[in-house]
Structure 1
Amino acid sequence: MLRLEGKNAVVTGAANGIGRASALRFASEGANLAILDLDSDGLEAVAEEARAKGAKGAKVLTIAGDCTAEAFITDSFGKIYQEFGFVDVLMNNVGQSARERASEFYNSKPEVWSFVLNVSLFSTLLASRQVVPSMREAGKGKIVNVASNAGLAGEVGISEYAAAKMGVIGFTRSLARELAPFKVNVNAVCPGVTKTRVIDRIPEDILEKIRVSIPLGFFAEPEDIAAAAAFLASDDARYMTGQSVVVDGGRWMI
């Protein structure tokens, strides 16, 4: 399918995992790509693969830097608009849990809260702010935010991450209502545990407890999440806005 043929798509956090898989899926659907990440080497590898998978003549622009830094984001979108003219699709994928600094809340630290909220929520607001004015004016556009089923399930030990991702869901709903009169769709995808580099940091006994709690009995591949993101980025989802699409093997059912 070429559901994004001729569209201009931006993916943040695109060097690895879900962001990488989504960028490659968007490329295979015909999109021009602008991909952002701190990992410059990873970005170039994704760009090379995207060019091989993409439509003939499709553009791939790589921009390396910190997606939580306002100056970087403002400058990056300036370059993107100069190259593409308009952003049809924004996928806000940047996000991170506390990882090795994770703890139950009574033992958590404010600097960790700030880090997680900045990466997992503020970055989404910051990038969205760059595209909303032009999407409103054009009367079209798709914003796909990556949330998580962590907020829905309320997992122990990741309270700041759950708060950030529920913040993404709340932002998605509010912005969807604001932009609906302008025919701009804003939706979220909520992955469960997915086979990215992060999974290597989780002890096997904890992974097994999570695995047995999943009705389908296995963890997602990044491509499973990318498939949902591509749907939300396409006109197949033109009558959906403000929704949180859970992709977690049935662990959380709405």
Structure 2
Amino acid sequence: MKFDHRIAVVTGGGQGIGAAAALRFLDEGARVAVLDLDCAPLIEQLAAVPDAAARCLCVAGDCTDAAIVCAFFDRVEAELGPVDLLFNNVGQSARERSGPFIASEEATWRFVLEVSLLTTMRASRRVAPGMRERSFGRIVNMSSDAALVGDSGLADYATAKMGVIGFTRALARELAPHGVTVNAVCPGAIRTRAHDKLKPEVLARIVADTPAGFIGAPEDIAAAVSFLAGDDARFITGQTLLIDGGRWMV
């Protein structure tokens, strides 16, 4: 119960990695608030969590809408208390609109930058002042190994996720003197609903490119987030942790 008496927020926590992180925080004693367009998958899983109704606040909303995000944090603070732990999980690639940069459109770049970078900055800006005043806080940002590998067809996504890394380092330097750590995780291939749309040959190629020989699970990322948010990681800040089965080695 290492997060007993802690308040954790997970953006994009309705499913996949975000839901796994929310469940991990709950299992370790935290009270958790989640903002996502669709919270239904997480809500189904909460049926097996003791006192979930009292310890988990699920809010349906768009993380790219500044007004919705502001109202969400107002509600979290009013109902649960000041935020101790923030996992900026929300983000995505252009998905079906992905392709060669020379054929891409600016509207797509702006969408990817908004959902994968600006959401992280926006939520962090909301909680950082309070963390600084209380001399405690943990912020974990979601990047991607695509930022380091530079996958073909994902120029906008790689740009946004490398922006997350730069933001993480700068914010970590600002907040370190005040007892607040800021780190980033960079998942590789993780089995989520997005993978269900991939062709078998694409999945096979992903596995072949991963030295570990398999695709990771959301729980693999949740474990790393839990570590970085805990007291055992108090001397770790501004770092980027790759969790990708060895696809990119620093």
SS of residue paired to 1:14 = coil
Q: Distance in 2 between matches of 1:13 and 1:125?
A: 14
1:52 paired with 2:58, answer: no
1:114 shift after superposition: 0.7
Contact residue 13 and residue 39 of structure 2 kept, 8 A: no
Structure 1 counterpart of 2:152, one-letter code: V
Partner of 1:154: 150
CA distance in 2, matches of 1:46, 1:169: 31
Tell me whether 33-42 or 110-119 shows the greater mean CA deviation: 33-42
Residue 31 of structure 1: aligned partner: 30
TM superposition shift of 1:209: 1.9
Aligned partner of 2:93 in structure 1 is 97
The answer to whether the 8 Å contact 1:147/1:168 transfers is: yes
CA contact (8 A) 1:11 1:34 kept: yes
Contact residue 63 and residue 90 of structure 2 kept, 8 A: yes
Deviation of the 1:84 alpha carbon: 2.1
SS in 2 for 1:52: coil
Q: Which residue does 2:178 correspond to in 1?
A: 182
List aligned pairs for 1:195-206, cutoff 5 A.
Answer: 195-206=191-202
Find the aligned partners of 1:23 and 1:68 in 2 and give their Cα distance.
20
Q: Which amino acid aligns with 2:201?
A: D
Map 1:93-242 to 2 at 5 A.
Answer: 93-242=89-238
2:50 is paired with a residue whose SS is helix
Q: Is 1:42 aligned to 2:41, yes or no? A: yes
Of 210-219 and 172-181, the range deviating more from structure 2: 210-219
Counterpart for residue 79 of structure 1 = 75
Contact 2:15 2:39 in 1 (8 A): no
- Distance in 2 separating the partners of 1:136 and 1:171: 17
Cα distance, 1:58–1:238 mapped onto 2, change above 3 Å:
farther
Distance (whole Å) between structure 1 residues aligned to residue 46 and residue 33 of structure 2: 9
Which residue does 2:7 correspond to in 1? 8
Distance 1:82 1:141, change over 3 A: same
Quote the offset at 1:6 in angstroms. 1.4
Distance 2:44 2:147 in 1: 32
**CA drift at 1:43:** 4.5
**Alpha-carbon distance between aligned partners in 1 of 2:179 and 2:35, rounded to the nearest angstrom:** 26
2-side partners of 1:46 and 1:90: how far apart? 21
The Cα shift of 1:52 comes to 2.9
Q: CA deviation at 1:65?
A: 0.4
Q: Distance in 2 between matches of 1:40 and 1:4?
A: 22
Partner in structure 1 of residue 63 of structure 2: 67
Deviation per CA, 1:10-66: give whole Å up to 9, x if none. 0010111000101001111110011110014234324444x4386xx9621111100
TM-score normalised by structure 1 residue count? 0.95
| Alpha-carbon spacing, 1:226–1:53, altered in 2? closer, same or farther (3 Å) | farther
Structure 2 CA distance, aligned partners of 1:79 and 1:46?
A: 23
Q: Secondary structure at the match of 1:185?
A: strand
Q: Deviations over 1:179-236 (max 9, x none)?
A: 0010100001110010001112222222222211211100100000110011011111
CA distance in 2, matches of 1:152, 1:252: 7
> Normalization by structure 2: what TM-score?
0.96
Aligned length: 250
Give the conservation status (yes or no) of the 8 Å contact 1:47–1:62.
no
Q: Is the 8 A contact 1:8 1:84 kept in 2?
A: yes
Report the 3-state secondary structure (helix = DSSP H, G, I; strand = E; otherwise coil) of the residue aligned with 1:144.
strand
